[in-house]
Structure 1
């Protein structure tokens, strides 16, 4: 046996594990459910793949010997929220090609990471985020955390915390949490150590936090082989430097730029040399679409989050004329639109359209005749039924429509490797259920009206509920 997967319902001990499999032959290990220290043995010295995504109870001190797995090529700690740092010994993993620490609490990478010259993919951070507050609100936030920490320490049951005690709690707060709040940094991205530019094999890097300073941007600029890049924390101060750095990345195919606040004035200096860009994600409010986007002739996938550009005729004209745009996602929240039109002759190559609207008031979403002629899939995630749709019967190539309703104050659930949604409190769960009961009649009526339009479409597209 070379590939071992330990399920969440397995309750065996170390003796049973060693008697069941020959550990020295294991090349790939995947763990589901709760972590146990004996899952990784010194006998697994030829292990190449270690997938601990979503493993419960994994702590920093249990990774101290990870650097002894010298043949490791793939390491995933995704979703292990108690992991706040990587040991320096990770620099011994000279064969490592993929490191996934996304959805952990790691905000800084160890200096030894620059020794991983074969590293191709680095996934980190949590994506959207950022603390864009003033000094008063930051101080208030720190005081609130300190109060909760003191209460937790006074009631801490140390034997049950598996290595997490008062000392570690205070260390994390003082050395990581508080400094990051002051800098305006949260766990949405990581800090790159000096010398990261030497990782010339790196082709995927996301998410990096730019609020750490211009040194981070210089490291990114030196990674000339990057094909996929994701950054958070962009602002008007670091925006020009970032735009200049991007012009050096001639192989870039995918770019994600996320801001907790506004992207206005942050991306205007971007070069038009991004000729290979195929995927673009922008998250943050925009008064106007950056001019360089209309020159992205090879762009296939575009996602705009919280841009407030839905319904803007000029924006839709620019996007609709991108010759290769096939997938478009518009995720908006909290503003009003009278009429949102997909006009005739635009979006000729579009096959997938994803509309996510929360706390929105839209009078009408209209598909005109001969608009989006190749659209095959339409996804609607709505926080309200006070939206009217027209022209669905005119969509020439539509095959299926996915419809879901969400609560604006809950959002959409995230799933882990173990297939479990994020836990919500019992009180919140009951409130959601009550809200669902109140909204059900309106949702049923909306679904029926949508179905009536689709029934008039010659393709007889299928309406599916998510």
Structure 2
């Protein structure tokens, strides 16, 4: 954790130095002091790396804590300086001359205070001693530990797995039930005569690495014929780590509450809470955890960090994307308790999970609030909070949230996802150091002009809100990297107008650091379309309400986005997408969504060799699109909705070599679907939806030997009848493990299991 604190402090050293370089009128003494602190931090960073593995040495551990605290102090004084400068500049409006004069006055008024704090930091640096002696002690400490470790560590006797000969199959079955079963509570009984080895078998399962690694808490209880429930729960509470002073010895209800609450209070995210990988990466960047690397974006570096953690089994992937990439993740249960304890010890994060919780840390850096009823009355320790996360919003009012957050002056990350908010919280714009703001899945409808005050903002997440227009002042946020604003309004089936984006003023060409922009409506004059060409770092672009006349300028802008991975384009109703003007499409494009009428399928699609997902909706093509798509080497997922009016769909032999997911929807005239032998050899999921004329099973469906799921939505009764177990055609699908049919009627969805 000390390494993280030093890295973050270095990040802000660089930011302040960049500010100095831009302003040019900052005192030279202050600049020299800040640069000197940067040199010390880099030296400390190198020594901390050398000290890895020596944390058990108490002397070195104390040195590491002192370095961490100094890094925190450096970060605090830099943030305070930037906060004061930014607050006073935003508070007044001046001419350029007056602005320059006022800035110099600000600097003079701040110099004494900042320099005095830096002197205090330098005094502390002198107190902990030079870093070189610390480095010299490392090898000595390691040698001392190595000479005594084998004799001082007492390993408790464990039941070895090879001592349960004859129980291999029952053991495997029990382990599988415990680690692969559902998340609900369950009881597994092991029955047999006395002396048959039941206890030996269960003990081996209990102590196995598979089970220990899967569960966060474990307890071994012996229950006799006559027992007291209070004693059993007390024993369980002790084994799962509840402090003795918190264990009630009487009252089953009280004990049960302590047990439940303890198991629920688990970086920043609660126990078993998964987080989207993209969200995690954006949070890391906002916190300053990600270091710049030449030739890579911060997002690419962060993704490498995450993949390394996954590769080392320190992070568990809870959901994989169809292309084999991690979509969401969580901490391994085996590590969770250790990391939480370590984080609180290192003052990295404080977790409040009960109404009367309070943190023991003097300066809380990150606050995770797991209970909406938690008492968050003002305390000086909260003034240092950098990130805050809320969970379980029930019972927490907007005014309560505001009363708490208005005191978090140094906040960088504010995640209000799912908060009970009807309006944009005005107090947020006074958090001028904010880098990450999420109001996702709230009921806000507008964004104020004062959003311009958040000049450090990198991520603004307004997905699934009611915001349909952004103020022109938002264009002043020059550090913005992610602007995500859209709402899906899906009732029964997706239609062209089921997704809403935002309208905004022209001027986005200044957002040169932007990575994700979705979903935006072009202005009537088409200026935004032309300005897109300046966003050369863009990785995701989503536009709606496009017109045919936008086509040439849009294609010209898109082909300059060499880093683009996702392209999502929708036409306005009764207009066509004109996209056949792109001789050199983005070479790394992975996801393509085209929604709206197409006079013909763009020819450049066949050259997208990195494309692994394509969605075409309401294209209205005269012929089949399969000829263009079938040779895409890495295509994994294909979704076609009302793409053609053709009566026949043929998947040719040897094509779609890597396709795993296929969805065919609203092919209103389709009556024959042919699957030739050798096509789609890897297909695992096939969905057929509202193809009203398709009354016979796809010819050759028996060739799809890897097919695991066949899902039907509002398909003709004749089609569904052929899937019944009594049908003569049942043999064609007997190899498919899961076959489900859904029918929508009177606003109710009926379900039929045909597996």
Please indicate, yes or no, whether the TM-score normalized by the shorter chain is above 0.5. Answer: yes
Q: 1:450 and 1:194 mapped to 2: Cα distance? A: 63
Task: Find out whether 1:371 has 2:733 as its counterpart.
Answer: no
Aligned residue for 1:27?
A: 387
Distance change in 2, residues 1:263/1:448 (3 Å): farther
Q: 1:458 and 1:221 mapped to 2: Cα distance? A: 52
**Equivalent of residue 578 in structure 2, options 253, 257, 266:** 266
Aligned residue for 1:300?
A: 612
SS in 2 for 1:245: helix
Task: Find out whether 1:349 has 2:653 as its counterpart.
Answer: no
Task: Find out whether 1:18 has 2:328 as its counterpart.
Answer: no
SS in 2 for 1:292: helix
Deviation at 1:221, TM superposition (A): 1.7
Q: 2:408 and 2:719 mapped to 1: Cα distance? A: 54
Aligned residue for 1:312?
A: 623
SS in 2 for 1:84: coil
Task: Find out whether 1:110 has 2:386 as its counterpart.
Answer: no
Distance change in 2, residues 1:295/1:17 (3 Å): same
5+ residue gaps, structure 2, are 1-349, 351-365, 491-496, 743-755
Aligned residue for 1:50?
A: 414
8 Å Cα contact 1:66/1:89 also seen in 2 = no
TM-score (norm 2): 0.43
Q: 1:119 and 1:265 mapped to 2: Cα distance? A: 29
Distance change in 2, residues 1:452/1:31 (3 Å): farther
Deviation at 1:32, TM superposition (A): 5.2
Aligned residue for 1:65?
A: 427
Which one has a larger percent helix, Structure 1 or Structure 2? 2
Q: How large is the RMSD of aligned CA atoms in angstroms?
A: 3.7
**For 1:141-161, what per-residue CA distance to the aligned partner results, in whole angstroms no more than 9, with x for missing partners?**
xxxxxxxxxxxxxxxxxxxxx
Deviation at 1:193, TM superposition (A): 3.5
Distance change in 2, residues 1:26/1:448 (3 Å): farther
Q: 2:370 and 2:693 mapped to 1: Cα distance? A: 44
Aligned residue for 2:566?
A: 254
**Equivalent of residue 531 in structure 2, options 193, 197, 219:** 219
Q: 1:230 and 1:450 mapped to 2: Cα distance? A: 48
8 Å Cα contact 1:299/1:325 also seen in 2 = yes
Q: 1:305 and 1:21 mapped to 2: Cα distance? A: 55
Q: 1:250 and 1:344 mapped to 2: Cα distance? A: 34
Deviation at 1:5, TM superposition (A): 4.6
Deviation at 1:406, TM superposition (A): 5.4
Distance change in 2, residues 1:111/1:338 (3 Å): closer
8 Å Cα contact 1:197/1:222 also seen in 2 = yes
Q: 1:107 and 1:230 mapped to 2: Cα distance? A: 15
5+ residue gaps, structure 1, are 130-184, 408-438
TM-score (norm 1): 0.68
Task: Identify the structure with bigger relative contact order (alpha carbons < 8 Å, sequence gap 6+).
Answer: 1
**For 1:269-314, what per-residue CA distance to the aligned partner results, in whole angstroms no more than 9, with x for missing partners?**
23333222121100012232122222222222100011134x933x
Q: 1:405 and 1:23 mapped to 2: Cα distance? A: 52
Distance change in 2, residues 1:46/1:279 (3 Å): same
Aligned residue for 1:327?
A: 637
8 Å Cα contact 1:234/1:258 also seen in 2 = yes
Which one has a larger percent strand, Structure 1 or Structure 2? 1
Aligned pairs for 1:280-299 within 5 A: 280-299=592-611
Aligned length: 366
Q: 2:391 and 2:380 mapped to 1: Cα distance? A: 15
Aligned pairs for 1:123-272 within 5 A: 123-126=484-487, 188-262=500-574, 264=576, 266-272=578-584
